[in-house]
Chains A and B, each alone.
Chain A
Amino acid sequence: MLKIIGSFIAGVVFTGILAWNMMGGLMFNERESPFGVEETVARIQQNIQTTGKGWALSGLRNPAAAVKADGGNALPVMMVEACSTKYSGPILNEDSVRFLSILMPCKISIYKKNDGKVYIGTMNAGLLGQMFGPLVGGIMKQVAEDQQKFLVMDPSKPTPQIQYPKAAGGSGGGSGGGSGC
């Protein structure tokens, strides 16, 4: 009996450790971009604006600039922020999940690593949404589908230009007034 209980506890602990280690990788996605930081940002911004469904740019942040302003160095990181009231509205109107506003607006991070390559980091909206019931799960599933359209990098299309926020924030900010959320 002791052996069975011991084995069960060991199994639970093992599974827990495995899940703990995998959680980070499951919640976030990373992919390499074929373009430089600026061009990747510009293409994602363009994709967001052509996706429809209420999507609009709501900001562009440059956290590396804040590090530089503080006398340090950081490889480039830019965060494109986008929002669609079509998706955010129902969540913001439901008290039980209103705390999820902390995840708004939807962010896509574009950054360079020490290998010199440019990567795109996104949240796994589909999986994350499933953790918060059917309302959020359904909305986030659609967000995840749209997110895939944001990340299409078609080299045959001409290079668009970055849309810088009109009202720049502090040295590390750069968020625009934008629309959407």
Chain B
Amino acid sequence: MKRASILIALLAGASLAAGAETQPAALAKAGGASTADHSRFIELQKIFNSGPEVTKACLGCHTEAAKQIHRTKHWTWEWVNPETGQKLGKRNVVNNFCTAVPSNEKFCAACHVGYGMENAKTFDYGSETAVDCLVCHDTTGSYKKLPGLAGHPAYKEIEYPPKSGKFVKPVDLGKVAQSVGKTSRATCGACHFLGGGGDAVKHGDLDTSLKTPPRYLDVHMDAKGLNFSCATCHATQGHDIPGSRYTPTGKADNAPLMRGRQNQGNPATCQSCHGAAPHKTKARLNSHTEKIACQTCHIPQFARAQPTKMSWDWSTAGKLTPDGKRMTIKDASGHHDKYDSNKGDFVYESDVVPTYAWLNGKVKYTLLGDPVNVNGVTKINEYLGSADDGQSRIWPLKVFRGKQPYDLENGSLLVPHTAVGYGEKDDSAFWINYKWEEALKAGANATGRPFGGKFDFVATEMSWPITHMVAPKADALSCTQCHSRSGRLATIDGVYLPRRDNNRLIDTLGWLAALAALLGVAIHGGIRVYLARKGN
């Protein structure tokens, strides 16, 4: 009897284990919450030779998904600002990191939610099968789009980077397709953590440390705590993801968003959950929320887990070793390059104290063709706002400084052609020949801009609102960090800040009152002493 019980228990255990093994990764990760097990769909039980083949299978059920994607900036890489008329989006803007997409598409498209973007102008934006479902919905972690493959993953084993002696195995598209699930910090982060050409380079508040963040780094995403994914705040409807640096929410609606109510506000704001009076025990702090973004106090520093790039000087790029090869020089930490022949000089910094500015959600860009400020600093983007417009709050920003090429004849920014497609021999690319003139000429051809051949480098500045990496409340700024003459908000104008600001008239009246009180006490005391002695 005892033996029989043990046998039954062993069999039961074995069957449970077998069940666990056959459970697809998506379901296992989702804790069984999903109502669909994609590994059981016949449409996905086949060998796929390319990404578009998988997409075709996805669209068999998710009939509207590609159309929804087609309406997003993730797909179009273009967005027209209705207020300024400026044509923005990755296809159009220039930044002071890797500079711009045109002529470099095959490389940059590793972060496009599509397949086959070899040229942003001629890419078929109407193609449904060119939409890449897996890049956002992979749960295996094995799906990688490599720079140089125009948005495709590796379909066969390739040496990558070329001539490196390292090899990348082809992605198992069938396995990935059968394991699809919700987006995750890993899928969003595959691009957003690595913006600007590497981990932690661009944003300062987004890097791979947020894949499994500790509590000190982000109280909401804390992997052992609330464990928010990106989509918890960037609550997505019909593949339209709220939250954009082209249309930031300077002053969010004060009321939290509620189920059952018609909400028009941006869900990716602090107020959408916390409202405008979040401080329960220190109600005085609630009076700050009208003028100050939550992030200003609750993100005391950014790049707290690893350093972010703070400046990039393209003008020094192209220095080679004596035998004509690319070289890199490490910075003092030994962990990052301070020089790279491909890119120039960098400065990395960790625990950066932000710059603060009024921000009302409006932004103006310096685009190709716009004049640069050759005698000063050209602002690649400028967030607008003031104390008086009623739409602004004081925000923390990462201000990224650089030097990048501009056309001496027409005085506007230039785009260098830097990167080439995988295995291509393209002598006009800077990362191949290290010749600025040819790279700038190729970039100008791709953008359709004139280039006379004369160029120089201009100082530029780009701002990034800081909104991720919210610290525990105990680490929020203390009063004196702003309320002092040399505090964090020393340069913010248009608002009266006690202890930073003073009014000479009020100060004089105050001192006079104090002096009068002192005199009064002295006279009163003197009279009493005098009368006492006289009485004696």
Contacts and interface: CB of A to CB of B under 8 A. Distances in A.
Q: Pick the most buried of B300, B301, B330: most chain A CB atoms within 10 A of its CB.
A: B301
B332 A73 contact: no
Contact of A36 (B300, B349, B471, B481): B349
Contact of A39 (B214, B215, B332, B350): B332
Contact of B330 (A67, A71, A115, A161): A161
A76 B352 CA distance: 10
B333 A75 contact: no
B215 A38 contact: no
Given A39-B331, A75-B351, A114-B481, A68 B214 contact: yes
Contacts of A75: 301, 351, 353
Contacts of B472: 71-73
B41 to A, nearest CB: 43
**B interface secondary structure, majority:** loop
A159 interface: yes
Interface in B139-197: none
B474 A162 contact: no
Given A116-B353, A161-B330, A161-B332, A72 B338 contact: no
B331 A159 contact: yes
B331 A38 contact: yes
B488 A114 contact: yes
Contacts of A35: 332
B311 to A, nearest CB: 11
A72 B332 contact: no
Contacts of B486: 115
Interface residues of B, number: 26
Interface string B324-356: 000000111110001000000001011111000
A114 to B, nearest CB: 5
Contacts of A38: 331-333
B216 A73 contact: yes
Nearest to B471: A73
A41 interface: yes
B475 interface: yes
A14 to B, nearest CB: 19
B304 interface: yes
Nearest to B488: A114
A117 to B, nearest CB: 9
A173 B332 CA distance: 20
A73 B301 contact: yes
B30 to A, nearest CB: 28
A160 B332 contact: yes
A159 B475 contact: no
Given A36-B349, A73-B216, 18 more contacts: A36-B332, A36-B347, A37-B350, A38-B333, A39-B331, A41-B332, A42-B332, A43-B332, A71-B214, A71-B216, A72-B216, A114-B488, A116-B353, A159-B331, A161-B331, A161-B332, A161-B333, A162-B333
Interface of A: 35-39, 41-43, 64, 67-68, 70-73, 75-76, 112, 114-116, 159-162, 164
Interface of B: 214-216, 300-301, 304, 330-334, 338, 347, 349-353, 471-472, 474-475, 481, 486-488
3 closest pairs, A vs B, by CB?
A116-B353, A42-B332, A39-B332
18 contacts: A38-B332, A38-B333, A39-B331, A42-B332, A43-B332, A67-B216, A68-B304, A71-B216, A72-B216, A72-B474, A73-B300, A73-B471, A112-B351, A115-B486, A116-B352, A159-B338, A160-B332, A161-B333
